[in-house]
Amino acid sequence: MTAARAAAPSTFVHRYVPASAPGRPPILLLHGTGGNEDDLLGLGERVAPGSALISPRGKVREGGANRFFRRFAEGVFDEEDLAARTHELADFVDAIRAQEDVPAPVAIGFSNGANIAAAMLLLRPGTLAGAVLLRAMSPFAENSRFADPVAAIPGTPVLLLSGDADPIVPAADAARLAATLKGAGAEVTRQVLPAGHGLSSPDLGLTHRFVAGLSVPA
């Protein structure tokens, strides 16, 4: 694994791995509940070899586990907190881009990390050049004030990978997220894999192919 270095002080504990190959989009790695800034570095190097990697640690603690935003119960999000922390994370991404002189990143998020990546697409259009959402669910309720108006993210590539035996993310909820993103103009590819909430080999292969097909954003 390429040695990760800590970037200059910022609002998030994080790792930054400089790009080792030209022409590859930077990757924003967003861990799931209980992960940290080192959790997805190996995955990032496997699915996006040569890309710069930006990997922050979620700032919320839940029973000793790191998360990116608070929740009231499984699948019931504190939307006020989610919105505020989405903007905070987007500000961090903007700061890292300026500091490291890199273009807008493609997010690869798992579970809690995928949910805040989806929220960033909707609340801060333009921050991300694309996203891979692994086991994501809709970040906001259908009648949420945060979901109206829908953001405009025309042409933004999004890969949404769900598990058909996922006990956490209802199939209808993941489908609603896909529809919301498509309604905002994103180019969404959704696949339902024979898997639960954990990641599988097909997740890695599909993510690798998706990222390999992306060009460096302007």
Active site residues: 111, 166, 197
**73: helix, strand or coil:** strand
In 104-174, beta strands by DSSP E = 106-110, 130-134, 157-163
**Cβ proximity of 139 and 112 under 8 Å:** no
| Bridge partners (DSSP) listed for residue 30 | 109
Query: What does residue 201 show for φ and ψ, rounded to 5 degrees?
Result: -60, -40
27 vs 211: CA distance, rounded Å:
9
Which amino acid appears at position 185 of this protein? G
Torsion of CA 93, 94, 96, 98, to 10 degrees: 160
Pull the structure tokens for residue 167.
């006990």
Q: For residue 100, count other CB atoms closer than 10 A to its CB.
A: 15
H/E element, 76: strand 76-77
Tell me how far apart the alpha carbons of residues 38 and 31 are, in angstroms, rounded to a whole number: 9
Phi, psi of 72 (to 5 degrees): -90, -30
